[in-house]
A and B are shown apart, each in its own frame.
Chain A
Amino acid sequence: MTAAGWLQLAFVVLLLAVSTPLLGRYLAKVYGGGTAPGDRVFLPIERLIYRVCGVNPESEQRWTTYALSLIGFSLASVLVLYLQLRFQNHLPLNPDNFGSVRPDLAFNTAVSFLTNTNWQNYSGESTMSYFSQMTGLAFHNFVSAAAGAAVAVALIRGLTRKRTNTLGNFWVDLVRTCTRVLLPIAFVGALVLVSQGVIQNLHGRQTVTTVTGQEQVLTGGPVASQESIKEAGQNGGGFYNANAAHPFENPNPITNVFEIWLILAIPFALTYAYGKLAGDTRQGWVLFATMFVLWLAMTVIVMPLEANGNPKLTALGANQTATSQQAGGNLEGKETQFGAAGSGLYASSTTGTSTGSVNSFHDSYTPIGGAVPLVNMMYGEVSPGGTGSGIYGMLVFALLAVFIAGLMVGRTPEYLGKKIQSAEMKLVVLYILAVPLVILTFAAISVVARFGTSSLLNDGPHGLTEMTYAYTSMANNNGSAFAGLTGDTQWFNITGAIAMLIGRFFLMIPVLAIGGSLGRKQPVPASAGTFPTGTPLFTGLLVGVVVIVVGLTFFPVVALGPIVEHLSGKF
């Protein structure tokens, strides 16, 4: 791998090292309940929103009310988005006169943006009006990330409060996340992107003549504002079909590194905020270290694999070395200005989080290189995951880890002094089983039924990987496409939407229930039998639990897909 590749990785790590405590401290104040920076600016806006919506910000909710608020809000907002997409041809800001979105595609898209997945079975530049992009889709880019953060904060309150029936107020957490976290970051992020050449306008299509005399149609649009929240909220839905490989979305290596940092910043910072809210920053650093180890391990696998090129082409005598004349590496499906290493770094980050934006096409990676984004998603989006969903996923794994540790020493497990009992473990099991069940069931049906296989561009192990990747991406609310699968069919639109809904809400509800259950408990003092959870040993145990649980669940399908493809040498 080139020095430039390593330098990009080092730069991202450096940015994270700086931003995690700074942003984490700010997040802890936003969710901590006391005064927070920016109160003078944000409080009047928030009070206006509460008054208009009839919300009493002082009232706290039990976990069931919190969950029902989440469900009610989600149902209302997804119905509005569905109808907006169906009637976009009658709505303003449609300079290219795009028609109504087809029912099954509108259903898939509405669910996709509701669930923070942003799986796209359409090309944004030829399907969505600017009104749909700027109001319907962008609204969900904010609130879907905020809903994830709200659920995470509710769980953290359950873990850190003593003998309480309430977990906060869903509406307050939703609004504060939008006004104080996502909007400021998205605004500043958009300015940075515009300064680097990302476009921001309301122009329709323009036909231009290129330097070679050819005619080319250029699509304008409010790209920078969409791009920044797309990355900062781990949404991932591209303004253009080519997503972050398009030069209007991601024009140079500086924006590439900046967008990778935007993807990773909030999920990592939430671990620090968790430590502050728990009153023990070591607890937060343990989660940070676990997420970081998983992300870094996968990143340093995929970057050199892609940078070293395709061994089959090397065997045929192709020169894949990076020189001043060529980017080098396995460049099929990659943008030359980012190079193979910059593409691998982006791929690992976008799939370790629940973002799903792409700056290269994962289908064209080497088999093991392509397995990295797949396995990243199979972790359940915890390395470091989405806004909120990453940390609540990792906390569920932490509960499982202390349970296993408790089994080893024969005592009832504890986490932050709260006894973990059979009810919480049943909810943890529900959480862990829901997504694999959806992925493996839908993928299994789709690889044997004609309505599934007819969408595949490849057969054999690569075709299996393409199918597994699609459902893994949708059920884990990632949204990245492996490519090689025609997803805009009734089967994939409908089953994909169901996978996304289950992968979102059937995980959030047990998480809130766990928070509600733990919140009611009185913490017990640590004793000689308490397994310490703020240590490097627990980090190791947590990494091991994540890898083993995912390995036991998904190893057969990974073996039959990318591993068989690698061993067979047919790629």
Chain B
Amino acid sequence: MADLLFIAILVAFFALAVVFVRACERILGGVEDEVVEVTDTAETDLVTS
């Protein structure tokens, strides 16, 4: 029984890790297929806003 519990914890953690990968992908905007061109004019975000 204890073995099943610990195996379940491991599987659950790595399932959570997969969810975390998706969450990080969302933070990046989920535009995996696009390469992003950032120029000097893109300095409006973050610091100056």
User: A residues within 8 Å of B by Cβ?
Assistant: 62, 64, 67-68, 71, 74-75, 78-79, 82, 86, 103-104, 106-107, 111, 163-165, 406-407, 410-413, 418-419, 421-423, 425-427, 430, 494, 497-498, 501, 505-506, 509-510, 513, 516-517, 520-522, 524, 527
The answer for the CA separation of A197 and B13 in the assembled complex, in Å, is 43
Q: A510-B24, A524-B40 are in contact. Are A412 and B32 (CB under 8 A)?
A: no
* Cβ of B2 to closest chain A Cβ, rounded Å: 4
The size of the chain B interface, using a CB distance under 8 A, is: 34
The answer for the CA separation of A164 and B36 in the assembled complex, in Å, is 9
Q: A68-B21, A423-B28 are in contact. Are A410 and B48 (CB under 8 A)?
A: yes
Q: A407-B47, A412-B43 are in contact. Are A505 and B28 (CB under 8 A)?
A: no
Q: A68-B18, A423-B29, A505-B17 are in contact. Are A411 and B24 (CB under 8 A)?
A: no
Q: Which B residues are CB-close (under 8 A) to A412?
A: 42-43, 45-48
Interface centre among B2, B14, B33, B42 (most CB of A within 10 A): B14
8 nearest CB pairs, A to B: A513-B24, A103-B2, A107-B6, A163-B35, A412-B43, A75-B14, A419-B38, A520-B35
Contact B10 A78 (CB under 8 A): yes
Contact of B32 among A62, A410, A427, A501 (CB under 8 A): A62
The answer for the CA separation of A517 and B34 in the assembled complex, in Å, is 10
Q: Which A residues are CB-close (under 8 A) to B48?
A: 410-412
Q: A103-B3, A165-B33, A412-B43 are in contact. Are A426 and B27 (CB under 8 A)?
A: yes
Q: Which B residues are CB-close (under 8 A) to A423?
A: 27-29
Q: Which B residues are CB-close (under 8 A) to A163?
A: 35, 37
Q: Which A residues are CB-close (under 8 A) to B45?
A: 412, 421-422
The answer for the CA separation of A410 and B37 in the assembled complex, in Å, is 21
**Closest A-chain residue to B13, C-beta based?**
A501
**Closest B-chain residue to A419, C-beta based?**
B38
Contact of A521 among B10, B14, B25, B36 (CB under 8 A): B36
